[in-house]
Amino acid sequence: MSAQPHKSLDSHLVKACAAEVGFHACGIAAAHHIGDYAALYEWKQAHGYNADMDYLTRYSEQRYNPSVMVEGAQSVISVLLSYNPSRLMSSSPRVARYAYGEDYHERVRRMLYQLIAKLREHYPSFDGRPCTDTAPVAEKYWAWQAGLGWIGRNTLIVNPRYGTWCNLGEVITTWPADRYDQPMENRCGTCRRCQQACHNHALAEVEPSSVSATNGAETSFPVLDARRCASYHTIENRDATLPADVRLSGYLFGCDICQQACPYNEEAPVGLDVTPERMGQLEELAVCDEQTFRRTAKHSAINRIKYTQLVRNRGGK
């Protein structure tokens, strides 16, 4: 990237470009070290909450500070894309909704490049690094800082309009913006529906004082215990068998139960059109052979698992 100082991005223009590309929301945060949120990453890893997902704390310098990832980073443009599907699977078998359509890595990445191309129409020397769950970036933190939602007790970004059915992406850039968004205030209030809905008791909260002695936060940090989470076990766990006390509730891939309970999802608009043909493919995962599985999983987030995991998950409670 150029070492020359840039003029400021017009924040309204950036958001208009993001909307033109098809993102449902866009905000901009000033790049900075993520502070106490980094301490939460470390706390979770030290206490085993990440199970064996050690990659969550790899490249921590980049994850904690966008200026390490992109030298001279000034802004994090955060975008949100709803994946709330137009059709739903029955209660069993089930697949997490984020995996109904095209792999979000491919879809969001393509749209981020389109956003960068659009910005170059207005700022020819604009450059930025697109990220969507493929680089060490604290995505939920940045979505929160950019005003796209708050981190709810389900540990996900909750957007007041689109709920929690949201893919996130970022463009980290050395360009400053004329105006930065503010972090959105947490609106969970006294609601604990997600925690109560989880059969596996995988959602917890940790006191700020446990995470960081210097923490100025007054409210608890929500944490997910991956060791108890059906989403972790159906996708990330490669063992031949699953813990007997983790309930899959009909899920072959992922789990949406805590999200289904969220009141902010009740009126969330549809963000992803799913064809009847695709629904048929997803339903068939309960019985299909490996060749059919490969066809269904291609260009889908389902590709994250192997056929042997699918067969194992079919036997879950």
Give the interface with ligand SF4 as residue ranges (CB under 6 A): 152-154, 158, 188, 191-194, 198, 200, 202-203, 224, 229-231, 255, 257-258, 261-264
Q: Which of 127, 133, 245, 256 is catalytic?
A: 133
- The smaller minimum CB distance to ligand SF4, of residues 2 and 219, is found at 219
In whole angstroms, how close is the CB of 310 to ligand SF4 at the nearest point? 18
Give dist(CA 244, CA 253) in Å, integer. 17
Q: Is 201 left (phi over 0), alpha (psi -120 to 50) or beta?
A: left
DSSP3 helix / strand / coil % (the chain, rounded to 5): 35, 15, 50
- Residue 289 has a CB neighbour count (10 Å cut-off) of 9
- The smaller minimum CB distance to ligand SF4, of residues 66 and 222, is found at 222
Helix or strand (DSSP H, E) at 224: strand 221-224
- Using DSSP bridges, classify how beta strands 150-151 and 157-158 pair: parallel, antiparallel or unpaired: antiparallel
In whole angstroms, how close is the CB of 104 to ligand SF4 at the nearest point? 17
Angle of helix 276-284 relative to helix 290-297, nearest 10 degrees?
140
In whole angstroms, how close is the CB of 254 to ligand SF4 at the nearest point? 7
- The smaller minimum CB distance to ligand SF4, of residues 201 and 295, is found at 201
- The smaller minimum CB distance to ligand SF4, of residues 31 and 224, is found at 224
Is 10 annotated as catalytic? no
In whole angstroms, how close is the CB of 64 to ligand SF4 at the nearest point? 25
Asked, as a colleague might, if the bond just before 85 is cis with ω within 30 of 0, I would say no
Residues that are catalytic? 133
